[in-house]
Structure 1
């Protein structure tokens, strides 16, 4: 499994109506352990999510089912693999 940092920029006029379905989608993934953290940027222009997926193809399959993607709320999206080494939520190394 790999970690991916996904940053999106919103199409502002579409975002409010779709936000509840987007958050429901992410909450389900968080419950499955596939989203570590997600939320909007402080300036309200977009958001960041940290996903866990088998690989980038699996991640793309997942994020392409996000209501924000399906309903045209995403103006831009960047995906970068992330390799966490320090953090309270990481398992202890043996």
Structure 2
């Protein structure tokens, strides 16, 4: 499993209406262990999520199923692989 940091910039006039569906989707991913942490940044101009996935292709499918993406509420998305070495989220340090 790999870790990924995903930053998204919202389409201002669209994201608020989609937010309940987006959060429901992310909550299901939290429950299955795919999302470690998620939340808005910079006064709701975007969001940041840390995911665990087998690879970038699996992550892309997860991201593309997010209601924010499906309903056109994302204007920009960046994905970076992340290698945590210390932290409370790590079981084997």
Output the TM-score relative to the length of structure 1.
0.96
Q: Tell me, what secondary structure is at the counterpart of 1:75?
A: strand
Q: CA-to-partner distance for each residue in 1:21-58, whole Å, 9 max, x for gaps? A: 00000000000000000000032210000000000000
What residue number does 1:20 align with?
Answer: 20
- Correspondence 1:70 to 2:90: no
- Correspondence 1:29 to 2:18: no
Q: Tell me, what secondary structure is at the counterpart of 1:6?
A: strand
Q: Which runs of 5+ in 2 are unaligned?
A: none
What residue number does 1:87 align with?
Answer: 87
Deviation beyond 6 Å, 4+ runs, structure 1: none
Q: Tell me, what secondary structure is at the counterpart of 1:49?
A: strand
Q: Tell me, what secondary structure is at the counterpart of 1:84?
A: coil
**RMSD between aligned residues:** 0.8
Q: Which runs of 5+ in 1 are unaligned?
A: none
Quote the Cα distance in structure 2 between the aligned partners of 1:43 and 1:66: 21
Output the TM-score relative to the length of structure 2.
0.97
